[in-house]
Structure 1
Amino acid sequence: MTATKKVKPPTLAEVKKWPATVNVPNAALALGCSRSQLYELIKRGEAPVRTLSFGSRHVVITASLVAVLEAA
C-alpha cells in the first residue's frame, strides 16, 4: 500500500498573490476538484473560471479564480 500525500489547498490570500494566469492543476487545487475534472469542464465549456487556450494547453485567469473563490 502506498501512502498518498494530501496537498493543502491554497488560501484566498495566497491565490490573490498568484501571477495573472495559472496552470489547471493549481486552479483545480484552489477550487477543490481534481485536475481531470477541471480539464473536462474546460473541454465542455462549463468551467466556473475563465480560461485561455493555446492549442491543447489551457491556463486559468487568476482574477476569475479569485472571483469564484470570493463568491463561495
Structure 2
Amino acid sequence: DQIAEAIHEAQIKVLEIPANDRFQLFVPHDAGEIRFDPTYGGVDRRSLLVIQITMVARYPVKLKRALYEEIVARLEELGIR
C-alpha cells in the first residue's frame, strides 16, 4: 500500500493528475519468472521491484524524467533503494 501511494502521490505532484485518477496493477512473480543478475554492477538486486508506467504522448520527456525522480525520492523515504 505504501508503494502504491508513493507512486500515486508522485503522479499527482508531477503530472498534476486528479487525486481520484488512479489505476495501478501489481503483479507478483514466482521465482524464475523474471531473470536478472542479482549482483550486476556490484549492486545487490536480489529484491527487485519493477515499475512500468504507460503514459500518453502528451507528456514531454522532461516531465517523465521528473516523475521518475519523484518516485525514486518517495520510495527512498520508504527505505527502498
TM range (shorter): under 0.3
TM-score by length of 1: 0.26
Which of structures 1 and 2 has the larger relative contact order (alpha carbons within 8 angstroms, sep 6+)? Answer: 2
